[in-house]
Amino acid sequence: MNNTLTLINTIYEINQLEQFAAPQIILAGRSNVGKSSLINCLANRKKLAKISATPGKTRSLNFFEVDPHGYYIVDLPGYGYARCSKAERAKWGKLIDQYMAGNSYIAAAAVLLDSRLTPQKNDIEMISYFKHCNIPILPIMTKSDKTKQKERSKIQNQWEDILKVKPLCVSSKSGMNRTKLWKLLDTTAMPELIDFYTAEQEKQKQE
């Protein structure tokens, strides 16, 4: 299935928030984990999300609509970037809290984890925050083309011990597991698509 992404809204202030009555998957991660690159990879477009050499450039909530299914991927500001002032980080926190408060449309949080790093404190804290909000976690390990399989598996296992689920390894550069990631996002946001994917797999086996 050829999904496409369209940037629908960019929100900087609490008073700009509006409710989108459709399933939503949060995209969260450290400032340099490669969120923008992954969005562009999923969209198969080079410049849908702006990529900067300076981490922490995403300072808004960015709502991307997934066609043809009609759910949303909501890109949050990256965390863990020291150059941002405490006041700015507090402002983002309030914006994110307000977005999440009572939002029954949030299906899950896809938390991006750097495949080159052992579990980091701020990643664990963010995951704990989502869990406290009763939001399911989809762990995604980025930059997997930059690690050897043995090293990657070691980090995967460490995260599996913490989360009780093995992260999906992806690479925006090589496209590793792009199709699997779309399937994971689709079926999490819209469980009714599980039957569609099952039928597609059976069809491929018969062919």
Domains of the chain: 4-206 (3.40.50.300)
Asked which of 22-26, 80-84, 145-149 is least confident by mean pLDDT, the reply is 80-84
As a three-state string, the secondary structure of 70-133 is CEEEEECCCECCCCCCHHHHHHHHHHHHHHHCCCCCEEEEEEEEECCCCCCHHHHHHHHHHHHC
Residue 53 has pLDDT above 50, yes or no: no
* Entry pTM: 0.89
> In this predicted model, what pLDDT tens digit does every residue of 115-127 receive, in sequence order?
999 999 999 999 9
- Measured CA to CA in angstroms, residue 62 lies from 15, 21, 30, 67, 76 at distances of 15, 16, 16, 16, 7
Type of residue at 18 = E
For residue 30, the 8-state DSSP code is B
> In this predicted model, what pLDDT tens digit does every residue of 89-141 receive, in sequence order?
678 788 999 999 989 999 999 999 999 999 999 999 999 999 999 999 999 99
Give the mean pLDDT of 172-181: 94
Give the mean pLDDT of 50-54: 52
Residue 201 phi/psi, 5° resolution? -65, -40
